[in-house]
Each structure stands twice: as C-alpha cells, then as structure tokens.
Structure 1
C-alpha cells in the first residue's frame, strides 16, 4: 500500500515590501480620532499632525519611530569606539617585534646584536614605529609576514571606508589586484572631473561600469547615482577622521603613507574625495561623533557607522516634521527599512498614505472668515461614528438597531404600496419577491414549463417589483439645542461630551428626521446661533458668564419661525444663570446670580413655554444652587430635568429627543 506523502509548508512574515494583503488605510478610524482632538480644542492642522505622531494600536506613529531611531543612534555611540584599526595594527606590530626578537636571540652574529638594539629602541608611537621599520631587514619570516599585513590592512581599510566590502574582497591581494584598484581610481577620478565640469558623461559612465562594475555591487544606473553613493561614503570617511582625537589623527596621517606600501593610493583617494566634495558639498563633510563604547571598529566599519549615524540623524529630523515645509513624503522609506526593518517602513508608508488620503478626501475646508474647519463630508462621517456610540449606549448592547427603527420617518401601518422615486420607507421583502416570481412566470417565453426552469435558475428582482411598507407620518418638530460654553465646561471636563452630544443629535436629525428643524445655540457671556462645524472646532475661552437668558431669546426666534412645528427645547448646562442681555445689547454679568438675571431668564422660559415647547434641562454636576434653580423652573413650566453622568450625556439628550418623537403622531 502506497504511503501518503504530505507536503509541508512553512509560513513567515512577508518581507518583500508593503504587505500586499494588508487592509487599506482606515480613514474612518483616523477621522474619528482627528475629530475627537478638534472637539477637544486642537486646530484641524494640529489634530492631523498629532494623529500622525501618535499612530494607532496596530501602527507605530512618527513619535514612536523617531524614539526607536534615536535609541539606535545612542546604542551605536555607546557600544563602539574608533580604535579598532589602531588596535589591530598595534597587535600586528607587537607580534612582528616579538617573533623578530626570538629569531635574533637565536642568531649569534654582531649584526643581530645591532638589530636587537634597533628593535629595542622603537618609538612608543605606533605610526612612528611602523615608519621606522619600513627599511628594516627582517630575519624572521613570521615577523615579516605580520609587518607586511600592516600596510595591506591599511590599504584595505582606506578603500573600505569609500567602497563598502573592499576590506574583505582584497584580503591577500596580489600586485595585480592592487594595480586593478589603482586603474579603477584613475578612471573614476576622470569621470568625476568630467561630471563636475558639467559634461555629458553617459558614454563615459557606461564604459567605466563595463570595466569596473564589479567594485560597485549596488549597480548605479547613472553618474549622478554613482556620485550620490560615493559621496555619502566619502563624507562618512571624513566624519570618521573628524571624530578622532588629535593624537589619533596624527597617527593615521603617518600610517596612511604606508597603505599598500606606497603613498599613491592615498593621493588617488584624496583626489576622489575632493571631486566628491565639489559635487556634493551638502553631505556633511564637517560632521563628527563621540563614540564611547568598548567595541573597537575598523576604519571601514567606523565609516559605515558614521554613515548610519548621518542617516539616523536625517531620519530623526524627517520623522519630527518640525521644520518649515515638512511633508510625510520627505521620509526616506528605504533608509528607515535599513535602520529599523521593513515593518517600520511599512508603518511610515501607511501614515503617509493616510495623510494623502485625508487631504484628497477634503476633510477640511475654510469658512467665510478663512478659518479651517471640518468639511460637511467629514462632519457626516464623524457624526455617524459618534451617533453609533450613542446608539449603543441607548440600546444597552452593541449592534442593537432599536434606535434606527425608532428614528424611521413613521410607524408601519401593515399596508404596502409600489415603490416610487424618493421613497425611504423599508422594503416589504415578501411582497417584492412575490412580485418578481409572478413577473418571471408571466414574461417567460414558452409557458409555465420554461418559467419553471427560469425559477430554478434564479429570479431577478426588477425595480417594478419593489413594494415598500406604508408608514404613518409624524409631525414636524422645531428643535433647539442650547449648549453651555462657559469656561467651567472646559474646567470640569464637560467640553468634549457637550460637543459629541451636539454632533450626535445633529447627525440623527439631518439623516433620519429631515423634516425637523434643528438650531444649535452656544451660550457663555453671550449667546449665538452656531452651525455644527463651527461648534465642533470651537475653542474654549476664559470667559465667565452663563447667559441662558440670551440663549432662550434666540431659541424663541427659531420656534416662532416654524409655527406649525412641535417645539422642543433641550438645554445642557453646568451652572445657574449669571448673565443676561441688557436692552442696549450688552451682557450683564454678576456672581452670585443677580436677581435681575434670574428674573429675566425665567421670563424667557415662560415665553418659550407659552409657545407650547417641551423643555428638558440636562443638569451637569452637583451644584446645589443649580439643582434648586432647575427644579423650580421645571415645575413652573412643566418641563423635565435630567442629571446624566457625563459619559451618558449624549445618550440622554438623543434619547429624550426620540422620546418626544414617539409622542408626536401626524
């Protein structure tokens, strides 16, 4: 019996760039958070910037990415030092001298004694000792091999600073290898000189890459790309030099002349550095860094670390977005991936896409005074989100649709009728499907048998089949929401819940009770009618005064403009009246409440009550004076008082409005 063979698959994180199966950017969630910040008092621009800085639970924001960039930079500096090459050279020199002394001790001739004196009197400076031994006749083959490694190491390190990977590639290099490097540098300097003169170097570049392309694994596609890559590395090599102590620089200057046993290499590299500095003077040639760690780096490693530091500093600035003209597109995603990995790059790319999508969706617009506000489209989306939260509070369980049914334009009567353009009543599914089946049978060519085949294949619903449920119309309402905007609302943490309440009620009325007329009135020391976008972005002000008198005057005007509508007045406040409007239009403020203020406020409440308004006062806080005042006026005008928790304010106001609607039948 054949044995079953199973193919084993392994799965891991996708590393080829952005995840192709990742969900699209969540604009709704982003708009919810930005809207919350705006309602809390941030400007629209600052709210968007703060969202990008903060990120989300599943996506690092700019601040987190910058924190990780700065942490990596700190680790580089605290872990490493620049002594690696010097230490390696000193070890080679000490080993060479030790082996030579052993050999000289075995030799009995007078020249050996003289050589011992020369070896024993070497200067303490590594560079000077290496230079003094340049003409020494070595007797120990092992010692000579170690000494020759010094010049070879220096040459490879010098090249590795400018051409990454050259140190390992040229280990045990032959004279032919060194000659090939020299020819490459000569041709490169000619190409750079032509580029700096502004000449067209296309053919010269192609010829150069065809001849020396093995030294450039990044495979640049033009002279500009080649210059960019080389200039970064050369500037890092200069930063390495700048970061050395004066003693180390002096040592390196002397040692460099021994590279590959000839000063020619240094001359060619110096010419190349000069050409690159001329081509890209902005590369930070004067940079330096203070490495304080214990792990020594070679010259090539040090240049690479300094190149990383320059890249990290640039990324930190890009992620800060604090400079003039900053844009998310400024962030170098490839550099971010190199330093923090592809996931960090994906997070930054998502943030940039979010910013771009939010701008393309026109979530902001300027009002008549030039102030930036949430656009109507953004307000609809924000209102829908806030109302969804309020509806969940009303229903007591997530996903309950009771508020949606309550908010329909009427109650079902049990009858149905044919759908007409503009109808918003719910479909009668049974009647609609029945119409579709009957029409299929009637219109099918070939009689009932063919109709049966069509029915088995499926029935298509045509617009002619649709029937909607008849509903009983409800009366129109004139609704006024008066919201307290005195500074105490901000001080006691009631500013944001007040705004969320207004947004939720506005969304409910504008989308589901469109016949109702809503007016929003904000009252502090003055009162004014305000639209929902302006209220959403309204900044708290250090303004004392609760001018309910003025607000009720404006409410009365709105109710009188709609004499055939049922008047509904909803008042949200956390303080008793402390201001009223004088006949000359100026506000009068006094605390504790002045008798004149209380009398004029009560008079306006009486006027609203005479219009037949259903008045509900939502009392916030536990002020005993406010509690006594609202209880008294509620009894006087037959109104209601609700004292909700601050988190339940939206549900209380919307629920009260819906309750008033249930009692209004046409």
Structure 2
C-alpha cells in the first residue's frame, strides 16, 4: 500500500504563553541574591527583593501588583453603578409619555383627572413607581413599559446573587405564563434556601437537607457546591459584593433603589426573601467585607448584577494585590491565586507568578538556605560555594584580561611527578594519566557498561606533596568601607579567595579576620552576611594579633598575611582587652601595630597590603611598614581588588 504523503505547516505559537520558554536561571538568581546579601540585606529580604524585582523575561511581584492596580483603577474609571436606575427612569419616562399622549386624545373628565394624578406623582423614581402600582393604564404601550420596570428590577436583584439568572429570565419573557412559573419557582427556591441556612445556623446537621435542596433547585447553582458550607461561601461572596455596591452609591441613589426593589415582579415577597437571605449570610460569614465600597466615576452605566460583579472583581483584585505584596506574616508564593491572576491579567501573568513560585521552591529544595541557631535564615554552604564560584570566575576573567590571556584549565608544574596515579577527585588540577584513564574505560565497557568515558575512569598523575600555606586575610570593616562603596568588592574578594583555596589548594588554611573598632575571626557565611555598622576605629593591631594566633597554629605552613584597608590604624587593643580609639592616630596605636608586624615578620610571614582610596597619610604609613617587613603594597581599583588579592596569593604560593 502506498504511503500517504504527509505535509506539515509550522508557525508561531499564539495561544497563550510560549510553552518552550526557558525556566528561571537558578544560577543567575543566586548571583542576585548573593549580591544583595553582600550589600547588607538578610537572605530572606534578598529573596523577597528578587521575587519583587523578577528575573530576565519574567515579571516580578512589583510589576504584577502594578498591573493589578491599573486594572482596578480602569474598572472604576470606566464604569458607574446607576445603570439600573437609569434604565428604570427611562422606562418610566416612556410609560408616562405614552399615557399622557393617550389621555390627551381623550376629551373626558376622567382623562383630565388621570392627568392630574400623573402630575402629582412623587419626584423620586421609587415613589413614582410605587404610586403607579394601582394605576389603571389607558395606554397599552405605557402598561408594557411599566411591567418591564417590575421585571427588570426582579431580574437585576436575582442577578446580583445567582449567576446567569438574569439571562434565563429574559429568555422566558416572551411567554408570560412560563415567566410567571419561573418566578414562582425562584420564590420557592428562596424559601427553601432560607430554611436550609436557618437550620445550618442553628447547628443542625443539614447534609440530607442540602442533598434534597440541590436535587430540587440545583439548576440555580451551576457552580455545583458540594455541601452547605460551600454553598454559604458562594452566596456570601456575592451578597457581600452586592452590599458593597449599595455602599458605593450616593444616599439618594441607595434609597431610590431600595424603594424600587419592593416593586420587583410586582410582589414585595421577593425583596423580603432576599433581605432575609442577606441577613443570614452576614451572620454566617461576618468575616466577609460587608462594609467596603468603591468609587466608580466612569460613563458606562452598570446594572445591579453587573455592578455586583464589578464589586466582586474589585474584591478579587484587592486580594490579589495583598497576595502579591507578600507583606503579611507567613506569606508564601503559593498563596497567590493563579487562576484569578490569569483571569484578570492574562495567561502570561499566571506563568510569570508560577515561575517565581517555582524559583522560591527550588531554592529551598536545593538547600541554598538554612536556619541559623537564632532562627534566622542564612545562606547554606552550598549557596556560598555557588557565590564563590561566580566570584572566582569573575576574578579569573579579570586576571586573564589584564595579562592578555584567555581563561585556561591547564595547570603549570606545581611539583614533580612521582610516577604513581590516583582517581580524580573534585578540585584536583593535576594532569590526566591518559593511558590509565582509557584502560579503565575499556575494562568498564567489557563488564557491560556501554558508556564510552565516565568521570570515574579518570586517573591523574600524582605529584610530590606541595608546601602548605597558612593564610590570614584581614579585611577592614570600618564605616568608611561602606560609605565609599568598598563593602561588596571586599566581600567578593574574600569569596573568590576562599573558593580558590577550598578547591585548588585544599591543604592551605585560610582565616578570615574583620577589623573595625575590634577585630574578630569570622566564617565565610558570617562575612558575606555582615551588615555595615557605624563604628569609629580601624584596629589593625587586633587583626594582626588574631592573624598571629592562626599562623602559630600552623607551624609547618608557609605564613601569608593579606591586609585590605582604606585607612591608617586609629585603634589598638590594651592588655585588659579594651580597644582605645584616637584620631589622628596616637603614638601608642602606631607603636602597637608596628610591634605586631615585627612579631609576624619574625615568623617569616609574607605581607601584602592592599591600599584602597587615595589617603596620603595611609599611603605613607603603608609604605613605611612594607619596607620594614619586606612586604608588597598594591593599590588596586575596586573592580580589580579580587584579581589583585588572588594573583598575590598565587604569586606567594609559587
């Protein structure tokens, strides 16, 4: 049988958001969070800021909130709530004009008396409609218009509370008998509904009564509630919106509408049943917004049902704005009603919000945050490694650009080969033993593994044991570092150096030391999350004391001291542990600092001073102590600080 020739046509996807759009970049998200944390934000606030700001090609919560408020403002700006009143006034005008025209053609005393009756009608629409309830219309057109007022009011009142009721009743108006039967069924449904809610409010088990009610009147509830509680929720939301609609009207409009409601279908029982229903719903759901209102000022008149739906939309938009703000205790991205968001802002908004929720969930699932002992949220070691990788990658790029080199993964001859090999481990940079690696792959394939080459096959050339280094990185954390924009570059430098040592030089021992009025040893996560504090004092003396303790604990290691500072020493530590501050620097401070440098020089420590800023006093001090200890002085730009520190460390290791 001949094969049918199939033809395919390709075109752009236009039905909603692109299903092949890339997911949110987790690495880019971590970079942004890390930058905010290093600038002093807490991990939680950094995550919230990222969600508010959004990512590339994904709107954030702030943008979605702005669109929600624009939608809300447009709804109020374009519409008004007195559409039903306007329509009733127009029908009343038509009825009176037609009646007066008919009476004007009659030359009788009865016609003149009727004209006097019409002239004496109350000025308000509600009072006029009520007075005309018993009027014997002479014009068939006038009588039809007046009956339309009653039917209109009934349809609008029911449309406020029951979805689709207005359209169903309008389709029945062509047959008066059918329409009257429908109205009677509605009255019966309201009586049964009020009875059901009264029993529910009294604490009775209404399960069986609810099932019987839905079997009898389920056509009025296309939402198909499953129990009495769901039915109450459904009705209370619409009833509260109807009440907010009334609250939003002027007192005159509200009084006029309440007066007209008594004329619905020419029978006040409907209004009474609905009033009883509203009262029961308010008692069952007092937490609904029964007192709110919205200011509508547009030119498009809305009927009572349409106005109630507009108030429901306002309530949904207000709820969405609160959910998107994430400002309440225990807020989660899962709180956002994605269906409501898509309904009001479109499918792409739903996709953007879901992507942000997935990002938050993925960050937590991958263990990038953890709880500190005090209960606060902090970056996990895994997150710090990712930030360190990014910082080191940036530093390597700068080193290569500065030297005219490209990034390379080839390692130089750091030590002599021993002739032995060993399996590769993460962080190893030694050369591969290619014959041994290929042999491992062949043996694995012979055992039935079809993969050509696997990381477990790799063996590297073992080298002689390299000398260890004990590194003390002393970073200035005085307020001037924050004030002059040196805070984040300092932290990125520490991240890059930590990442380099922990991956390539794992035998080295790095100690991070911060110094302001006092100095202290800190872990990497503590330094990354450190907030700038207004504090006077640059206590390099205390930092060198801690550096000396670290170097003495590693007597077999090459001692390396790296100092990053933007100011000369202005504080030193007294024997009793008190830090004394003085500006300009006192002789005692300078003498104590230089004495500690001399002690570390006696340990054959290698010094490098990274001088930030252009303070001449600092330059003079650094030059003097560098000559004294045989150290180096580097004056990097802020952008090049990390590259200079890493380069100097590598130079010292060589």
Which TM-score applies when normalising by structure 1? 0.88
Instruction: Please list every run of 5 or more consecutive structure 2 residues that lacks an aligned counterpart in the other structure.
Output: 174-178
Counterpart residue number, 1:448: none
**Does structure 1 residue 315 correspond to structure 2 residue 320?**
yes
* Cα offset, 1:380, TM superposition: 1.9
Counterpart residue number, 1:122: 121
CA 1:144 to 1:367, structure 2 compared with 1: closer, same or farther past 3 Å?
closer
**Does structure 1 residue 46 correspond to structure 2 residue 38?**
no
CA 1:499 to 1:116, structure 2 compared with 1: closer, same or farther past 3 Å?
same
Alignment of 1:47-66 (within 5 A): 47-66=46-65
Q: Identify the match of residue 337 of structure 1 among 342, 347, 350.
A: 342
Alignment of 1:277-426 (within 5 A): 277-367=282-372, 372-396=377-401, 402=407, 404-406=409-411, 410=414, 413=417, 417=421, 419=423, 424=428
Distance in 2 of aligned mates of 1:287 and 1:91? 30
**Does structure 1 residue 431 correspond to structure 2 residue 435?**
yes
Which range moved further: 75-84 or 88-97?
A: 75-84
Deviations 1:122-144 (A, max 9, x none): 33211111122222222332222
Q: Number of matched residues? A: 644
**Does structure 1 residue 474 correspond to structure 2 residue 466?**
yes
Counterpart residue number, 1:449: none
Distance in 1 of aligned mates of 2:333 and 2:650? 45
Counterpart residue number, 1:226: 231
Deviations 1:139-198 (A, max 9, x none): 332222222111111001000111133222211531122122222222322332333233
Q: Does the 8 A contact of 1:189 with 1:271 survive in 2?
A: yes
CA 1:11 to 1:223, structure 2 compared with 1: closer, same or farther past 3 Å?
farther
* Cα offset, 1:459, TM superposition: 7.3
CA 1:276 to 1:649, structure 2 compared with 1: closer, same or farther past 3 Å?
same
Alignment of 1:478-557 (within 5 A): 478-557=470-549
Instruction: Give the 3-state SS of the residue equivalent to 2:514 in structure 1.
Output: strand
CA 1:461 to 1:237, structure 2 compared with 1: closer, same or farther past 3 Å?
closer
Instruction: Please list every run of 5 or more consecutive structure 1 residues that lacks an aligned counterpart in the other structure.
Output: 445-453
What is the alpha-carbon root mean square deviation over aligned residues? 3.2
Counterpart residue number, 2:163: 164
Distance in 2 of aligned mates of 1:42 and 1:562? 35
Deviations 1:539-597 (A, max 9, x none): 22211111112212221222222222122211100011112222333222221222332
Instruction: Give the 3-state SS of the residue equivalent to 1:12 in structure 2.
Output: coil
* Cα offset, 1:26, TM superposition: 4.2
Q: Does the 8 A contact of 2:76 with 2:298 survive in 1?
A: yes
Deviations 1:259-303 (A, max 9, x none): 011112112212221222222111112222222223221111111
Instruction: Give the 3-state SS of the residue equivalent to 1:396 in structure 2.
Output: helix
Distance in 2 of aligned mates of 1:332 and 1:572? 50
* Cα offset, 1:427, TM superposition: 6.7
Distance in 2 of aligned mates of 1:234 and 1:438? 76
Instruction: Give the 3-state SS of the residue equivalent to 2:585 in structure 1.
Output: coil
CA 1:245 to 1:461, structure 2 compared with 1: closer, same or farther past 3 Å?
closer
Which range moved further: 104-113 or 490-499?
A: 104-113
Counterpart residue number, 2:13: 12
Counterpart residue number, 2:151: 152
Q: Identify the match of residue 568 of structure 1 among 557, 560, 563.
A: 560
* Cα offset, 1:634, TM superposition: 2.2
* Cα offset, 1:254, TM superposition: 1.5
**Does structure 1 residue 271 correspond to structure 2 residue 271?**
no
Distance in 2 of aligned mates of 1:540 and 1:421? 38
CA 1:517 to 1:138, structure 2 compared with 1: closer, same or farther past 3 Å?
same
Counterpart residue number, 2:105: 106
Distance in 2 of aligned mates of 1:77 and 1:474? 75
Distance in 1 of aligned mates of 2:456 and 2:251? 92
* Cα offset, 1:403, TM superposition: 6.2
